[in-house]
């Protein structure tokens, strides 16, 4: 048992050179560890068929990583009360099905990979028609599909949830793919409970803040300076956007800082923590049906760098704050990053953030 755990951790440390992908990518890599050692794919991981007919990249691979706001499990059931309490994220009926984290991970045929964060409030054309925030494509399509099925006589709650989520995944992929002018080869989906389980499995993480901050909406209440966060505090840390200098863009930088902390934590993790990460991925992660994780583990570049796609500013539309974007500039930036990734972070320390 000990040698098996050592093998798991050895593979993990190799893959964790990809630390600057996203919190979801860490989950993906952690999920791939056990399967790569036995060259099989676990049947207990939820699979999606939303990409079966989607076009593929002709150069490298693109993986869309989505973090959902829902407080429900994969079957649409409420999380246990004690878990909700420790998450500090409100009741089960909060959050909806917005894709608040959207990251396109581009893995080229050679050279370093790049992870491109798409700000969630970008105003874009939605695959279902009309304009909306890019994060809304999933939830809108889910509602439409569930309503269609109910009208046709389907009333089983789990069947509605499954079909609704598949429609949501398809719509989110199509919306992001069209906006970025990039095919999506693979899909990774994770909800808030998965973010929470990462920090919980590792016994918390270490971060650093430039200034003290408090936000009752996310539960954030942190002093300035270096500090250790438990799982609930860590979730508040990556969720907070109110009271930060640049709102959602500050939250994106926090995700990067959190990834640095997760990476350092994993480098010193024992076998129990590694196994907890693997078990977490089996219950919290959804992958597309054609995603071969063992192949990813064999071919993932040794270096992955992180950047955020540009916005032009903010606007107030229909009572909502949105990001104005120049689609041509965004697509040009995607091409630039795919061919010339940003430089690596200046040091291996945990960066202080807002």
Closest CA to 345 of 266, 246, 229, 261: 261
Q: Which tokens in the block code for residue 15?
A: 């893959």
CA 116 – CA 194 distance, rounded (Å): 21
Query: Quick one: CATH architecture of 2-205+251-344?
Result: 3-Layer(aba) Sandwich (3.40)
β-sheet bridge partners, residue 114:
106, 305
Q: Which residues of the chain have pLDDT under 70?
A: 1-44, 88-95, 256, 259-260, 263-282, 293-294, 297-298, 300, 302, 344-349
CA 265 – CA 180 distance, rounded (Å): 33
CA 244 – CA 263 distance, rounded (Å): 24
Q: What is the pLDDT of residues 109-152, one digit of tens each?
A: 888 888 888 999 999 999 988 899 999 999 999 999 999 999 99
CA 264 – CA 259 distance, rounded (Å): 9
Phi, psi of 319 (to 5 degrees): 85, 5
> What's the pLDDT at 330?
97
CA 141 – CA 135 distance, rounded (Å): 11
Residues 6+ apart with CB under 8 A from 303: 17, 18, 112, 113, 344
> What's the pLDDT at 53?
86
CA 110 – CA 279 distance, rounded (Å): 31
CA 54 – CA 171 distance, rounded (Å): 11
The full set of domain ranges for the chain reads 2-205+251-344
Q: Are 223 and 101 in contact (CB under 8 A)?
A: no
């Amino acid at each position: 048992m000990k040698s098996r755990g050592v093998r798991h951790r050895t593979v993990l440390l190799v893959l964790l050179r990809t630390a600057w992908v996203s919190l979801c990518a860490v989950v993906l890599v952690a999920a791939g560890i056990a399967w790569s050692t036995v060259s099989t794919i676990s049947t207990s991981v939820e699979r999606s068929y939303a990409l079966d007919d989607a076009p593929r990249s002709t150069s490298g691979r693109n993986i869309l990583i989505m973090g959902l706001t829902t407080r429900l499990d994969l079957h649409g059931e409420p999380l246990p009360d004690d878990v909700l309490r420790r998450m500090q994220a409100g009741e089960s009926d909060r959050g909806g099905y917005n894709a608040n984290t959207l990251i396109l991970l581009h893995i080229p045929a050679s050279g370093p990979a790049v992870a491109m964060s798409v700000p969630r409030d970008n105003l874009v054309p939605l695959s279902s028609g009309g304009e909306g925030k890019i994060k809304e494509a999933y939830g809108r399509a889910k509602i439409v599909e569930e309503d269609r099925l109910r009208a046709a006589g389907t009333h089983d709650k789990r069947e509605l949830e499954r079909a609704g989520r598949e429609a949501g995944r398809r719509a989110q992929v199509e919306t992001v793919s069209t906006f970025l002018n990039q095919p999506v080869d693979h899909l990774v989906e994770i909800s808030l409970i998965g973010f929470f389980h990462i920090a919980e499995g590792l016994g918390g993480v270490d971060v650093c803040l430039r200034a003290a901050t408090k936000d009752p909406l996310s539960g954030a209440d942190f002093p300035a300076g270096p500090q250790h966060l438990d799982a609930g505090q860590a979730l508040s840390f990556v969720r907070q956007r109110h009271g930060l200098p640049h709102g959602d863009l500050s939250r994106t930088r926090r995700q990067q800082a959190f990834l640095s902390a997760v990476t350092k934590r994993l480098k010193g993790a024992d076998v129990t923590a590694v196994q907890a990460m693997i078990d977490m991925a089996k219950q919290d992660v959804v992958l597309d049906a054609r995603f071969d994780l063992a192949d990813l583990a064999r071919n993932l570049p040794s270096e992955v760098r992180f950047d955020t796609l540009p916005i032009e500013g903010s606007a107030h539309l229909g009572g909502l704050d949105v990001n104005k974007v120049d689609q041509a500039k965004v697509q040009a930036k995607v091409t630039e990053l795919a061919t010339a990734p940003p430089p690596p972070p200046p040091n291996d320390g945990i960066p202080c953030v807002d």
